[in-house]
Structure 1
Amino acid sequence: MACQCNHNNLLEETLDVTTIPHSVRHPAILGAISALPVLGSILLKAPHMPSPLLAEVAALEGSFTHEVVQDGPSEWLVRISREG
């Protein structure tokens, strides 16, 4: 059963990016996003809007979308979904 926000992963994982060491943060997050199944999603929790990371996601193989669930001021929640 899908929720009203049109994403299909009811057991969506939340990844708190502040728990990942800064030196490997982007590669680790990109690896997790790349591993998403088609129609899967992950919720990123970040201390700022992850615009540079979203640009990197756009360059990944496959089709990804993002939705800002919470837009600050102290934390941002961004849902990244794999479309294909």
Structure 2
Amino acid sequence: MACQCNHSNLLEETLDVTTIPHSVRHPAILGAISALPVKGTLLLKAPHMPNPLLGEMQDLEGEFGHEVVQDGPSEWVVRICREG
């Protein structure tokens, strides 16, 4: 789902996934996404397009969307938002 949240959040945090150990990366990121308040956003910085994670995100309780802010080639930034 495309992100429909207000992106004027000046306090938007960036989560650099390369700083998270690979063995716990997806659970840690999904936990951070789950903790977002309604209309909250998070920038996810990754070394590749996080398609598998975006698929897993749809299994979380709540409604989430995303939009690609930076599409490579060495770094991807994806805005995750909690719609409801």
Q: TM-score, normalised by structure 1?
A: 0.91
Offset at residue 8 of structure 1 (A): 4.5
1:7 aligned counterpart, secondary structure: coil
Q: Relative CO higher for 1 or 2, CA cutoff 8 Å, sep ≥ 6?
A: 2
1:18-66 deviations in Å (ceiling 9; x for gaps): 0000000000000000000000000000000000000001111100000
Q: In 1, distance between residues paired with 2:52 and 2:35? A: 20
The 8 Å contact of residues 8 and 40 in structure 1, kept in 2 or not, is answered as no
Task: Give identity over the alignment, percent.
Answer: 84
Q: For the Cα contact (< 8 Å) 2:15–2:45, is it kept in 1?
A: yes
**SS of equivalent to 1:24:** helix
Alignment length, in residue pairs? 80
Structure 2, unmatched stretches of 5+, are none
Q: Which residue of 2 aligns with 1:31?
A: 31
Match of residue 11 from structure 1: 11
